[in-house]
């Protein structure tokens, strides 16, 4: 994978680094910690040795006394190693462990709590627009921002193989789903829920599986870090609000690769979901890389007024609406105005496909490409588009 600078900054002590396959964890590790003792559990021989004898990790570490940093790549493949790591962290030697993983499922079941806070948890996301030398919004909406795809010679071909990689290497190998074909239908079926309120019964009907199975598959998808859900923002609510969460694939290119399209599909409907997903993944990365308590929500009243994103934390509150349109229309601002009535302290943004920055009725209207390229962990949202 081609090396590109990343915004992620490692903490000074031991930490977990989670992220889906292809987000560049190994590439980042090799570049940032070139002198570290590197244990790659994707190597078959290393995996076999440490599965049979987890204590061998202690022998490897003690055999490299000059190396402070120890990197264990894809640690979820051998969860028992966490007991050894915990013991080594408790020893007098000053060592930092970097434990990467593309699945939280086996760690959660196999002892991540045993670390008892000895290692903080961090995430590596797909590229942010500002991490690229040149950001192409149209290309990002087609093939996404996963580093493995972005840096490939043929991004479209690499993206088409991405879901297969997960089905083969994660779902089948780890036994997450007994029927891989059924799980593949689920992946396609739930793509219709991108950027929408999640209705499990509808997904079950679309994927031709029962509701309980879909609920389990959703958990698998989130454990594999392939998807996330946004809850409704309910703080100090003055109106009746929706109860269900919204669903997003972690990368808009992955969504596009799984979403079937045909003559009955409106291109603008798919493009709108892709654009909203692209903004969502950027906001998640921005909030995580700031190491703040900022969280991402959405807001929807029972009457149907909806704001795509609410960012809330000790730094403030912001509401953002995303529109796949070239001009700002009065109806595009209605939900933001309603939110501002309930939360007058909130900053409000409308992100759209036009070219001009505007302020309409106190709402900042910003070209979405400009917003994404200006979004950096070192900057607050108000710095990206000052009011």
pLDDT at 45: 96
**pLDDT for res 176:** 63
Residues 6+ apart with CB under 8 A from 127: 4, 145, 146, 147, 150
Q: Do 220 and 268 share a structural domain?
A: yes
Last residue in a domain, options 76, 105, 123 = 123
| Together in a domain, 103 and 245 | no
Domain boundary among 123, 153, 168: 123
Residue 42: CATH number of its domain: 3.40.50.300
Whether residue 204 is predicted with pLDDT greater than 70 in this model: the reply is yes
Does 135 lie in the same domain as 117?
Answer: no
In a shared domain, residues 33 and 143: no
Shared domain check, 323 and 232 = yes
> Tokens for 98?
């970097």
pTM of the model: 0.93
pLDDT, one tens digit per residue, over 240-276 is 888 899 999 999 999 999 998 776 677 788 999 999 9
Better-predicted residue by pLDDT, 10 or 179: 10
Across the strands, what pairs with 322?
351
Do both 146 and 282 map to the same domain?
A: yes
**Is residue 324 pLDDT above 80, yes or no?**
yes
Among residues 159, 177, 156, which one has the least CA distance to residue 167?
177
Closest CA relative to residue 323, chosen from 375, 271, 281, 288: 271
Does the residue 10 lie in any domain? no
Indicate whether 4 belongs to any domain.
Answer: no
Is 5 among the domain residues? no
For residues 82 and 173, which has the higher predicted lDDT (pLDDT)? 82
Let me know whether 152 and 98 are in one domain. no
Could you tell me if residue 178 is inside a domain? yes
**Strand locations in the chain (E):** 15-18, 37-40, 69-73, 96-101, 120-123, 196-197, 227-230, 246-249, 295-300, 306-313, 316-322, 347-352, 358-360, 363-367
Domain that holds residue 48: 15-123
Q: Are residues 334 and 220 part of one domain? A: yes
Q: For residue 1, is it within any domain?
A: no
CA–CA gap between residue 140 and residue 145 (Å, rounded): 6
The 10s digit of each residue's pLDDT in 266-313 is: 778 899 999 999 999 999 999 999 988 999 999 999 989 999 999 999
How high is the pLDDT of residue 266? 78
Residues 261, 218, single domain; the answer is: yes
Q: According to the model, what pLDDT value does residue 115 have? A: 65
pLDDT of 126-179, one tens digit each?
A: 999 999 999 999 999 999 999 999 999 999 999 999 877 776 677 766 666 667
For residues 150 and 110, state if they share a domain.
no
Q: What residue has token string 């290393």?
A: 46
Count of domains observed in the chain: 2
- What are the CA-CA distances from residue 1 to residues 41, 71, 254, 289 (Å)? 18, 19, 18, 22
Residue 22 neighbours by CB under 8 Å, 6+ apart: 146, 147, 148, 149, 162, 165
């Amino acid at each position: 994978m081609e090396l590109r600078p990343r915004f992620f900054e490692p903490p000074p002590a031991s930490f977990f680094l989670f992220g889906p396959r292809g987000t560049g964890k190994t590439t980042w590790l090799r570049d940032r910690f070139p002198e570290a003792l590197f244990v790659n559990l994707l190597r078959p021989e290393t995996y076999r040795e440490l599965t049979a004898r987890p204590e061998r990790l202690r022998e490897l570490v003690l055999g490299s006394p000059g190396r402070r940093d120890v990197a264990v790549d894809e640690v979820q493949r051998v969860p028992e190693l966490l007991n050894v790591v915990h013991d080594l962290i408790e020893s007098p030697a000053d060592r930092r462990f970097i434990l990467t993983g593309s699945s939280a499922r086996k760690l959660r079941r196999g002892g991540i709590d045993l670390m008892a806070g000895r290692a903080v948890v961090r995430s590596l996301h797909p590229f942010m627009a500002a991490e690229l030398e040149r950001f192409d919004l149209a290309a990002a909406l087609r093939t996404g921002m996963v580093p493995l795809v972005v840096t490939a010679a043929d991004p479209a071909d690499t993206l088409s193989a991405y879901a297969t990689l997960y089905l083969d290497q994660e779902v089948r190998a780890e036994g997450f789903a007994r029927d891989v074909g059924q799980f593949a239908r689920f992946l396609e079926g739930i793509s219709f829920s991108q950027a929408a309120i999640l209705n499990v019964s509808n997904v079950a009907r679309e994927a031709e599986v029962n509701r309980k199975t879909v609920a389990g598959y959703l958990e698998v998808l989130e454990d594999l870090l392939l998807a996330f859900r946004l809850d409704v923002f309910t703080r100090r609510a003055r109106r009746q609000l929706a109860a269900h969460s919204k669903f997003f694939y972690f990368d808009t290119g992955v969504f596009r690769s799984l979403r079937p399209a045909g003559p009955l599909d409106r291109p603008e409907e798919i493009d709108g979901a892709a654009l909203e997903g692209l903004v969502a993944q950027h906001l998640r990365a921005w909030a995580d890389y700031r190491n703040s308590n900022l969280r991402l929500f959405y807001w929807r009243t029972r009457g149907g007024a909806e704001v795509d994103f609410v960012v809330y934390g000790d730094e403030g509150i912001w509401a953002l609406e995303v529109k796949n349109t070239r001009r700002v229309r009065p109806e595009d601002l209605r939900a933001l105005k309603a939110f501002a009535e309930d939360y007058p302290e909130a900053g409000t943004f409308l992100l759209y496909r036009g070219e001009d920055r505007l302020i309409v009725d106190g709402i900042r209207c910003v070209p979405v490409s400009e917003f994404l390229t200006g979004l950096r962990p070192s900057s607050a949202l108000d710095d990206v588009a000052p009011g």
